[in-house]
Amino acid sequence: MHLFYAMSRIILGVTGSIAAYKAADLASLLTKSGHSVTCVLTREALEFITPLTLQVLSRNPVISDLFAEKNGWQPGHIQLADEADLLLIAPASANILASMAYGFANDALTAIALATRAPILIAPAMNGKMWTHAATLENVVKLKSRGVSFIDPAEGLLACGYEGVGRLAPVEEIAAAAVRSLTETQ
């Protein structure tokens, strides 16, 4: 069963969250659905998941270093930004939300986020106190005002031992939201 109606080019951003391991399931699901998935990992994400895992599951090279681009004349992050049908960031840390809200481009993922004109869909995952902090909430409002869509985090037992909101939404929910985002822009 395919989740999407037509093949799309999806950039899957993965950030420094314990939920980064769930990006493997998401990359696999989207790839099996017939889409081209390119994973872009922040330096912090590399502490939680290996590029090789995502490369094998997505069947595409993984980007983790803005300055490691050596192929062709066009910067790889700009080419990815131009070709993307969707930028999906799952999991998204508080750090990436702040960086995007303030227009930082200090790594491949934030550079792609600034350069792309594709829809952006974000699935946050973090400690509940971080998610409900005024700074994070202001960053979410700012990003939403720019047209960024969000999949709210789920409630439950968090990796830090607290109970509350902050868990990455279920992978199937994220994939369904990606479907909606892709079909709305076609």
Active site residues: 160
CB 124 within 8 A of CB 175: no
Strands 36-41 and 9-14: parallel
> Does residue 91 have a cis bond before it (omega within 30 degrees)?
yes
Strand order in the sheet with 120-124: 36-41, 9-14, 86-92, 120-124, 149-150
